[in-house]
Amino acid sequence: MGTFIQQVFNGLTVGGIYALIALGYTMVYGVMRLINFAHGDLCILGAFVGLTLLTGAAGSGHSGAVLLLAAFVLAVVVIAAAGVVLELVAYRPLRKADRLSAVVSALGASLLIENSIMLIWGPDVHVFPGDLLPATTWTVAGASITFVQVMIILASVLLMAALYLFIHHTRFGTAIRATAIDQDTARLMGIKVNRVILTVFVIGPALGAIGGLFVGIYYREAYFTMGWTYGLYAFIAAILGGIGNIPGAMLGGVLLGLFNAFAAGYISSSWQDAITFALLIAILLVRPTGLLGEPDAGKV
Amino acid sequence: MIWKQTAGAASAFAVLTCAMLVGVATASAASPIRFGVQAPITGPYADEGQGIEKAVRLLAEQQNAKGGLLGRQIEVTVCDDEGKPSQAAICARQLVNAKVVAVIGSYTSGAALAAEPIYAAADVLQTSDGTSNKLSEQGFKTWFGNAAPNSAEAEFTANYLVNVRAFKRIAVLTDHSSFATGLADEVIKNIAAVHGNVVEKAFVNADSQNFTPVLTKLKSLNPDVLYYSGYFSDGGLIRAQMQQLGMDAAFVGGDANQNVSFAKIAGAAAGGSVIVNVPAPQDLPYPAAKQFVADYKAKYGALPPSVFTLTNADGMRAILEAIEATKGTEPAALENHLHHLVDFQGLTGTFAWNERGERTGSPFVAFEVQADGAYKILYPEPAK
Whether B384 is in a domain gets the answer: no
Instruction: Give me the CATH number covering residue B369.
Output: 3.40.50.2300
> Which residues contact residue B43 at a Cβ distance below 8 angstroms, ignoring those fewer than 6 apart?
B7, B49, B82, B83, B84
Instruction: For residue B205, list chain A residues with Cβ-Cβ distance below 8 A.
Output: 272-273
pLDDT at B241 over 80: yes
Residue of A nearest to B269 (CA): A130
Whether B93 is in a domain gets the answer: yes
> Which residues contact residue B128 at a Cβ distance below 8 angstroms, ignoring those fewer than 6 apart?
B104, B105, B106, B107, B109, B112, B135, B145, B146, B312, B315
Give the best residue of A136, A230, A269, A273 to mutate against chain B (max B CB count within 10 A).
Answer: A269
Give the pLDDT of residue B328: 92
The answer to whether B267 contacts A223, with C-beta atoms less than 8 Å apart, is no
Domain shared by B144 and B159, yes or no: no
Instruction: For residue A220, list chain B residues with Cβ-Cβ distance below 8 A.
Output: 237, 240, 265, 267
Over residues B346-363, the mean pLDDT reads 91
Pairing of strands B102-104, B225-228: unpaired
Whether B265 is in a domain gets the answer: yes
Give the pLDDT of residue B20: 37
Burial (Cβ within 10 Å: 0-12, 13-18, ≥19) of residue B370: middle
Residue of A nearest to B233 (CA): A125
Domain shared by B130 and B183, yes or no: no
Q: Does B269 touch chain A (CB under 8 A)?
A: no
Query: Tens digit of pLDDT for each residue in B151-187?
Result: 889 999 999 999 999 999 999 999 998 889 989 999 9
Query: Tens digit of pLDDT for each residue in A136-147?
Result: 889 888 899 999
Domain shared by B108 and B211, yes or no: no
| % pLDDT > 90, chain B | 71
Over residues A93-107, the mean pLDDT reads 91
Distance from CA of A132 to the nearest CA of B (A): 12
The answer to whether B216 contacts A125, with C-beta atoms less than 8 Å apart, is no
Whether B263 is in a domain gets the answer: yes
Q: In what order do the strands lie in the sheet with B225-228?
A: B198-203, B170-174, B225-228, B250-253, B274-277, B365-369, B375-379
Number of domains in chain B: 2
Query: What is the domain range of residue B250?
Result: 152-277+365-379
CA A235 to CA A256: how far, in whole Å? Answer: 11
Residue of B nearest to A220 (CA): B265
Average pLDDT of every residue of chain A: 91
Would you say A45 and A212 are in contact if contact means Cβ atoms under 8 Å apart? yes
For residue B139, CA distances in Å to B102, B123, B356 come to 17, 13, 6
- pLDDT category, B145, cuts 50, 70, 90? very high
Domain shared by B138 and B167, yes or no: no
Whether B13 is in a domain gets the answer: no
Q: Does A101 touch chain B (CB under 8 A)?
A: no
Q: Does A276 touch chain B (CB under 8 A)?
A: no
pLDDT at A280 over 90: no
Would you say B290 and B301 are in contact if contact means Cβ atoms under 8 Å apart? no
Burial (Cβ within 10 Å: 0-12, 13-18, ≥19) of residue A77: middle
Give the pLDDT of residue A45: 96
DSSP characters for B291-326? HHHHHHHHHHSS--SSHHHHHHHHHHHHHHHHHHHH
Q: Does A142 touch chain B (CB under 8 A)?
A: no
Cα angle B355, B70, B51; round to 5: 65
- Check residues B77 and B371 and name the one with the higher pLDDT: B77
- pLDDT category, B222, cuts 50, 70, 90? very high
Instruction: For residue B175, list chain A residues with Cβ-Cβ distance below 8 A.
Output: none
Query: Tens digit of pLDDT for each residue in B30-62?
Result: 789 999 999 999 988 999 999 999 999 999 999
Over residues B138-150, the mean pLDDT reads 90
pLDDT at A297 over 70: no
Instruction: For residue B219, list chain A residues with Cβ-Cβ distance below 8 A.
Output: 3, 6
Residue of A nearest to B219 (CA): A3
Whether B245 is in a domain gets the answer: yes
Would you say A68 and A132 are in contact if contact means Cβ atoms under 8 Å apart? yes
Q: Which of these, B2, B146, B6, lies nearest to B81 by C-alpha position?
A: B6
Query: Tens digit of pLDDT for each residue in B98-120?
Result: 999 999 989 998 999 999 999 99
Whether B8 is in a domain gets the answer: no
pLDDT at B3 over 50: no
Domain shared by B93 and B143, yes or no: yes
pLDDT at B142 over 60: yes
Radius of gyration, alpha carbons of chain B: 22
pLDDT at B15 over 50: no
Domain shared by B272 and B186, yes or no: yes
Query: Tens digit of pLDDT for each residue in A5-64?
Result: 999 999 999 999 999 999 999 999 989 889 999 999 999 999 999 999 999 887 787 888
Query: Tens digit of pLDDT for each residue in A185-241?
Result: 999 999 999 999 999 999 999 999 999 999 999 998 899 999 988 999 999 999 999
Q: Which of these, B121, B198, B206, lies nearest to B157 by C-alpha position?
A: B198
Give the pLDDT of residue A208: 96
Q: Which domains does chain A have, with CATH numbers?
A: 2-286 (1.10.3470)
CA B272 to CA B269: how far, in whole Å? Answer: 8
Domain shared by B143 and B30, yes or no: yes
> Which residues contact residue B250 at a Cβ distance below 8 angstroms, ignoring those fewer than 6 apart?
B165, B167, B224, B225, B226, B272, B274
Give the pLDDT of residue B23: 39
Query: Tens digit of pLDDT for each residue in B258-306?
Result: 888 898 899 889 999 999 998 889 888 889 999 999 999 999 999 999 8
pLDDT at A245 over 90: no
Give the pLDDT of residue B18: 37
Instruction: For residue A6, list chain B residues with Cβ-Cβ distance below 8 A.
Output: 212, 216, 219, 245
The answer to whether B204 contacts A6, with C-beta atoms less than 8 Å apart, is no
Q: Which of these, A92, A94, A90, A96, lies nearest to A37 by C-alpha position?
A: A90
CA B279 to CA B343: how far, in whole Å? Answer: 20
- pLDDT category, B383, cuts 50, 70, 90? low
Domain shared by B211 and B73, yes or no: no
The answer to whether B214 contacts A264, with C-beta atoms less than 8 Å apart, is yes
Average pLDDT of every residue of chain B: 89
Over residues B333-354, the mean pLDDT reads 94
The sign of the dihedral angle between the CA atoms of A170, A176, A177, A183 is: positive
Domain shared by B243 and B169, yes or no: yes
Residue of A nearest to B245 (CA): A144
pLDDT at B245 over 50: yes
Domain shared by B260 and B172, yes or no: yes
Give the pLDDT of residue B29: 53
Domain shared by B160 and B230, yes or no: yes
Query: Tens digit of pLDDT for each residue in B69-91?
Result: 999 999 999 999 998 999 999 99
Whether B166 is in a domain gets the answer: yes
Over residues A80-105, the mean pLDDT reads 93
Would you say B243 and B268 are in contact if contact means Cβ atoms under 8 Å apart? yes
Would you say A11 and B213 are in contact if contact means Cβ atoms under 8 Å apart? yes
Domain shared by B264 and B218, yes or no: yes
Burial (Cβ within 10 Å: 0-12, 13-18, ≥19) of residue B265: buried
Q: Does A135 touch chain B (CB under 8 A)?
A: yes
